[in-house]
Structure 1
């Protein structure tokens, strides 16, 4: 691992007052949750643009839940990894940290992050497509695991509270994410190739308002050339390494 880059990133975090962490599938991969686009991901066997669209869900909810059941089971047993924990612990360094995640697994909250904006929704509940009643996941998952299509007491279909491919992001959540991007001093981009809109626009907003970017991703991104620090490393190793430098009581940080 590039220790100089780790130290540079820690220095940026040391001087920052407001930090945003934009996270993607790569941060949860060490927890055993596959990237949708990986060879073992959900995109390989079926066409998710059809199955996991609102149109496809309404047309064939049984197929949707059959397709999604392995992911539900995987997320159900997944645990936060050192990357999730490092972002939660960053708050203990007297920093205001907002996590903006494209993931639906809830691992940031379980790790202890207090401000986690879930752009693509979550699996803690389902919503009725007819009466809009919210139903806890604990009441829905047993039916899904038995192969049944969950329905509301009114008879309407229950859809997980996730954003499907032909749905818009919740306006309020994205507004909060944009505000966080506009007001941060440093944005950490962790485990995302920045290929999915509109999340990929948030780093540009941060740059336009004077923020520094720290990119941690095993592959390249289109914004690598604009970042203050780039680490093509495992995020579950790089983020804890940064935190260790930042938190070390005898560690000299340049300008500190």
Structure 2
């Protein structure tokens, strides 16, 4: 069992507004490849700019589309891990909890989180590359992108590609939650992807206790309360320490 700092356990028992900020490491514990790990096998010869930029899609939409269809099939085969379930457990006990994720999967939702804020979009959502109209989910074996009924543009994944700005609505919601949080958890993230990595810092600057759960060091090490280890181990034990069954 992990011996958690008393200040953290007591702070969680007293808290109302907790913010969880999750990154690729959380989903990797479910066996989901990270973005760069996904460039294996047939995709090993491609660079990120070949598969995840607006320019790449404009140049070769079918190749980009097929890669994301492959990623969707991979995503559909994994299940939430104990970290996802533990975060949903925090939400059930603390109704003002907010979950902000950099991940484009839906493992948080499958674990029971009601409304995670997806900063980088979702691999399962689609939009028109030309007019931005939301488009429906399609079968994962469809090899060519369908056309938009509104303008005839090509369908693309509704995720943030390199060189694109974060969508404003989730960004503003995340920043507002950060400014209200009493405790902020940074979990499974390198803390180097900007502007997303600003969110835990905004919370800390507004007075929140910053807690980091990560197996490896990050730039947050010097300013956070660090719980070194896999989120799927640390978080369930933390729930039990705060609310013993």
Q: TM-score, normalised by structure 1?
A: 0.87
Distance in 1 of aligned mates of 2:45 and 2:242: 43
Aligned residue pairs total 241
- For residues 134-185 of structure 1, the C-alpha deviation after alignment (integer angstroms, 9 at most, x for no partner) is 2221xx234xx24223322343100111111121101111011011111100
The residue that corresponds to 1:252 in the other structure is: none
Structure 2 spans left out of the alignment, 5+ residues? none
Deviation at 1:57, TM superposition (A): 0.9
More moved, 158-167 vs 126-135: 126-135
Deviation at 1:6, TM superposition (A): 6.2
The residue that corresponds to 1:231 in the other structure is: 227
Distance in 1 of aligned mates of 2:64 and 2:123: 14
Structure 1's consecutive aligned runs of 4 or more residues displaced over 4 angstroms after TM superposition are none
When you count helix as a share of all residues, which structure comes out higher?
1
Distance in 2 of aligned mates of 1:171 and 1:146: 30
Q: TM-score, normalised by structure 2?
A: 0.91
Structure 1 spans left out of the alignment, 5+ residues? 250-256
Distance in 2 of aligned mates of 1:216 and 1:115: 22
Change in CA separation of 1:172 and 1:7 when aligned onto 2, cut-off 3 Å: same
The residue that corresponds to 2:3 in the other structure is: 4
- For residues 90-138 of structure 1, the C-alpha deviation after alignment (integer angstroms, 9 at most, x for no partner) is 122234210100001011122111231000001333111234332221x
Deviation at 1:77, TM superposition (A): 1.8
The residue that corresponds to 1:253 in the other structure is: none
Please tell me the root mean square deviation across aligned C-alpha atoms, in Å.
Answer: 1.9
The residue that corresponds to 1:246 in the other structure is: 242
The residue that corresponds to 2:18 in the other structure is: 19
